[in-house]
Chain A
Amino acid sequence: MNINFTLISQAVAFSVFIWFTVKFVWPPLLRAIEDRQKTIADGLAAGERGRHELELASQRSSDVLKEAKQRASEIILQAEKRASEIVEESKRTAKEEGDRIILGAKADIEHEVFSAKEALRQHVAELAVAGAAKILRREVDAKAHADMLVSIGEDLK
């Protein structure tokens, strides 16, 4: 336990080491650590922001989805309505068309009946003329009796 000059030399060495650490060791390491802390903090903040944005986006997407569903159901409803309208309309048109066809057919039939009657009448007149000629047993001058034949034909109408 003898205090001597070693004490002073050690104190000098100590102060030199302190100076060295304060000047050269601490600042660069502190800078590196603080930079890294900042990077990590920034990263965490970015992550937080990303999470928030994801939340917003999912909110938005669910909104869009809901709207789309609503729109789709509206469209389906409209389509159904329109389809039933079309069905109704086509039913109506078909009925009208059918009526018209029936009407046309009836007219045709009437026309046919008329021409058949006409033909029949012609035929009957000829038959009557032939019959009359046979009855008279003499030649009938067609030219002389044409007037009479025509009038018989008129009567048969």
Chain B
Amino acid sequence: MASDTELTPTSYINHHLTNLTTQVSEGSFWVLHVDTLVTSLILGVISFGSIWLIVRKATPGVPSKRQAFVELAVEFIDNEVKNTFHGNRHVFVAPTALTIFVWVLMMNAMDILPIDIMAWIYEHAFGLHNWRTVPTTDVNTTFALALSIWFLMLYFNVKIKGWGGWMHELFCTPFGKNPLLWVLNLLFNFIEYVSKPLSHSLRLFGNIYAGEIIFLLLGMWAATGVSGAIFGAILGAGWAIFHILIVTLQAFIFMMLTVVYISMAHESH
């Protein structure tokens, strides 16, 4: 904690939850969280770059250990997609699911990094006072993903069913074709379309954000002395181990929901 002001629990937590921002243009919207963007870009480039390097030399014969590892991940995801999506999944849906799973997993996994050591490194090695390591604790990231998928969902709805088919679905499902029910159907679908991206993004954000907060709270045990620090470290280790599950599970859930939403856009009711 390289804060110049007096260190209180509030300032400690605030320090860790403050993004490095830069003003892109006039207005409160045109702010960029540099840490979120840079971290996620680095993670994406590293993971997809290394996967690409491995896959580029993929052989149908006996695979190398690295190739086998990538194949394991790909086939796991491909199986999940196959069970949900009944179309040619190789064109778009399965690679998208792979992208989401790998990227979200990597971004979530940043939560495992010890938060204060990372802060010290950012401060002293890079001279960055505020730097949030976990891109998925930024609601912008999760909303960006969820909204992109939401637009994909609309795109596939129109592409597969046509404007007429989609409108028919909006007005005539789930309760029936009766004109009296049109308003009800539309309202129902409207709520569904609004709630989908919200629940999709906030679930991921909430889980990872809460995880980070708990790390911060456990980190504050260090303020009570040596025994408190040891106690906090033990609890922190336990939470980190448990967090491995949450990190993976949330990435998986996010991917599965994506596949389900896009599949629903492909299937008429």
* Chain A residue total in the interface (Cβ 8 A): 33
Is A9 touching B32 in the complex (CB atoms < 8 A)? Answer: yes
Across the interface, which residues of A come within 8 angstroms of B145, CB to CB? 10-11, 14
Is B55 touching A35 in the complex (CB atoms < 8 A)? Answer: no
Assess A10 versus B144: contact at CB under 8 Å? Given A25-B98, A29-B55, A36-B61: yes
Smallest beta-carbon distance B168→chain A, Å: 29
Is B139 touching A22 in the complex (CB atoms < 8 A)? Answer: no
Residue of B at shortest CB range from A22? B95
A13–B147 CA distance with the chains assembled, in angstroms: 13
Is B37 touching A9 in the complex (CB atoms < 8 A)? Answer: yes
Across the interface, which residues of B come within 8 angstroms of A13, CB to CB? 37, 40-41, 44
Q: Which of B68-76, B213-221, B242-250 contacts A (4 or more CB under 8 A)?
A: B68-76
- The majority secondary structure among interface residues of chain A is helix
Q: Which of B1-9, B23-31, B169-177, B188-196 contacts A (4 or more CB under 8 A)?
A: B23-31
Is B257 close to A, CB under 8 A? no
Q: CB within 8 Å of A: which of B74-114? A: 74-75, 90-92, 94-96, 98-99, 103
A9–B103 CA distance with the chains assembled, in angstroms: 15
Chain B interfacial positions (CB closer than 8 Å to A)? 24-25, 28-33, 36-37, 40-41, 44, 48, 51-52, 55-56, 58-61, 63, 67, 70-71, 74-75, 90-92, 94-96, 98-99, 103, 135, 138-141, 143-145, 147-148
Chain A interfacial positions (CB closer than 8 Å to B)? 1-11, 13-15, 17-18, 20-22, 24-36, 39
